[in-house]
Amino acid sequence: MEIKIKTPAKINLTLEIVNKRPDGFHNIQSVMQMVDLYDYLTISIKKADKNSINLSGTSSEIPYNEKNLAYKAAKVFFDCLYQKNYIDSDKQYETNIFIEKNIPISAGLAGGSTNAAGTIYGLNKLFNDVLSKEEMHELCGGLGSDLNVCLEGGCLLATSRGEIIEPLPFKKYSVSLIKPNNLGISAKEAYTKYSQLVNKPNYDMTHKLIDALKIGTNIEQFIYNDLETAVFDDYKELQEIKKDYPKSIMSGSGSTYFMLNNSFKNADGYWVRNNLNFISHGVIEDSIK
């Protein structure tokens, strides 16, 4: 059997750091929103003499091995099924996952996380929805910070390290994205630099934006990202974007910036996507055969 899954990107309408946790992660409060920029996963399974997970795809920038979050997602999915006796221990499967990559990597758009959430979602469809949504969310929460958001979709408040989610009112906006071609910023780098800030911001834009969503007023004045403050001075490319587009805001740990109801001009050295839209879903089935 084979299934094709659409895995959308996310942006952070707000991202605020609450504190550092004993496990080294940070507690956050963030309003995250899915947008209609998609990677596509083609997932197939067949019975085999032994279990195997094989990744391939269109990008030369990601690993197609056990380091890929989609690989880890497939592994925890099967581990769960065997552990809960949802499939017999003597049944083995060859799993093939092809990743058509359109979301830039190390961009603050959850490209790896959405692929992983899509892998769990797609495999679950191939096994006739053997896991409940709660069980899928449990697997997602154990793998990373943004997977639960990508699985659920729409507009969400994410807290703890991002895995605790609460649906928020959905409002339609168009959104445009810009990213320097040769600049990726890892979450580890951004959070480390935030920890080193002497004067840490404390604006509570998250709850102000949520209030605006709930009463239906404009949210643009409340869009904000603590991590932009942490990395901005280190990268001239980010400074140039902000100079040309003062209302733009960084998503996640960067290096993508976005604007609502506005467009970026195409420029040498930058990846640009205009006229995208907020969407009310997360990872979703595209086709099955």
Tens digit of each residue's pLDDT (9 = 90 or more) over 87-110: 998 999 999 999 999 999 999 999
For the residues 247-269, what does the mean pLDDT come to? 96
Could you tell me which of 36, 273, 272, 25 has the C-alpha nearest to residue 154? 36
pLDDT for 20 equals 87
Q: CATH no. for residue 12?
A: 3.30.230.10
What average pLDDT does range 162-188 have in this prediction?
95
Q: What is the reported pLDDT for 167?
A: 97
Residue carrying structure tokens 């996952």:
97
pLDDT of res. 250: 98
Q: Residue 30 pLDDT > 80, yes or no? A: yes
Give the whole-number percent of the chain exceeding pLDDT 70. Answer: 99
Instruction: Dump pLDDT digits (tens) for 177-234.
Output: 999 999 999 989 999 999 999 989 899 999 999 999 999 999 999 999 999 999 999 9
Mean pLDDT for the chain overall: 96
Assess whether pLDDT exceeds 80 at residue 289.
no
Q: Which range, of 13-27, 101-115, 148-162, 247-261, averages the lowest pLDDT?
A: 13-27
Residue 24 has pLDDT above 90, yes or no: no
Q: Is the dihedral of CA 236, 237, 242, 248 positive or negative?
A: negative
The whole-number average pLDDT for the span 233-239 is 96
Which alpha helices (H) appear in the chain, and where do they start and end? 69-83, 111-126, 133-143, 147-152, 187-195, 205-215, 226-231, 236-244
pLDDT at 288 over 70: no
pLDDT value of position 263: 97
Q: What is the mean pLDDT of residues 69-96?
A: 96
Cβ neighbours for 15, distance < 8 A, ≥ 6 positions apart: 28, 30, 224, 225, 226, 227, 252
Domain count, the chain: 1
Residue pLDDT, tens place only, 55-68: 999 999 999 999 99
Confidence of residue 238 (pLDDT cuts 50, 70, 90): very high
Q: Active-site residues: which are they? A: 10, 146
**Helix 133-143 vs helix 69-83: crossing angle, to nearest 10:** 130
pTM value?
0.96
Q: Are 247 and 3 in contact (CB under 8 A)?
A: no
Q: Which domain holds residue 70?
A: 1-289
Q: Does residue 163 have a pLDDT over 60?
A: yes
pLDDT band at 23 (very low <50, low <70, confident <90, very high): confident
